[in-house]
Amino acid sequence: MGWSFYHRAPGVETNAAHFTRKLGDRYEIIAHGTVETVFYAAIRSHKTGTVSAYVALTRWKHDRTHNFGYTAMDETCLPAAHKAPKAVLDALTPTTHQDALAWRANCVRYHDQHAFLRQQLKPGMRIRLTHPLRCADNIRRDAFTYGWTGGRKQGRLTDGPRRFPMPNWRELVAALIHPDGSETLTPVGKHQTTHHRSSPAPHSEQR
């Protein structure tokens, strides 16, 4: 799963066309999408007929001969990238592979999280993250206030007068904090709570 770099002419072909050639005659791309710099595809095996997920991290760089690179894996490798479009997820056939199931669940949770926040998160609300983060002022925080940036309606996190630029913060929101201090868990927060409850307690040493 290392990176391969080579020359690829910019703007000549889509990622779908490019990776169709890379996959060869053994697979057919049924559905696909590129999110950020990751190419996701549902690929059908011509041998078995099953449809599984293919994930390729891509990178463009300034180099005359090796300007494009990628590293690819299938869903059984439990890729860390888990923002596959719904069209890709819907095209997959059932599987019993535990890592593939875990990856699919991560993707579904990603979509559920964003749908939940679109509906429930309003400017001025307090949120709690899954874990404290060390901010630019060297203070660890897990609670912030959500607000708009200017007139563009771009979400930002604040704590008093301080603003905290934080990429992909929505994936870290565990709960919405109400004025009375109670919380409503997000899909990520519910998963975190369930995972902690199901994790075995560490064994204590016998003396």
Instruction: Specify whether 72 is located in the same domain as 143.
Output: no
Among candidate residues 115, 145, 171, the one where a domain is terminated: 115
Q: How many domains does the chain have?
A: 2
- Alpha helix segments (H runs only) across the chain: 15-23, 86-91, 98-120, 187-198
Q: How many CA atoms lie within 13 A of 56 on its CB side?
A: 22
Cβ atoms of 74 and 130 within 8 Å: the answer is no
Q: Is residue 207 in some structural domain?
A: no
pLDDT value, residue 205: 38
Instruction: Specify whether 15 is located in the same domain as 48.
Output: yes
Q: Is 76 exposed, middle or buried (0-12, 13-18, 19+ CB in 10 A)?
A: middle
pLDDT value, residue 1: 63
Q: Is residue 203 in some structural domain?
A: no
Instruction: Specify whether 97 is located in the same domain as 193.
Output: no
- In 3-state terms the chain splits into helix, strand, coil percentages (rounded to 5) of 30, 35, 35
Instruction: Specify whether 133 is located in the same domain as 189.
Output: yes
Question: pLDDT under 70 in the chain at which residues?
Answer: 1, 149-154, 196-207
Q: Is 167 exposed, middle or buried (0-12, 13-18, 19+ CB in 10 A)?
A: exposed
Among candidate residues 82, 115, 148, the one where a domain is terminated: 115
Q: Is residue 48 in some structural domain?
A: yes
Task: Please give the residue range of the domain that contains residue 184.
Answer: 121-197
pTM: 0.87
pLDDT value, residue 201: 45
pLDDT value, residue 67: 96
**Cα-to-chain-centroid distance, residue 8:** 26
In whole angstroms, give the CA distance from residue 173 to residue 145. 11
- State the DSSP code for 108: H
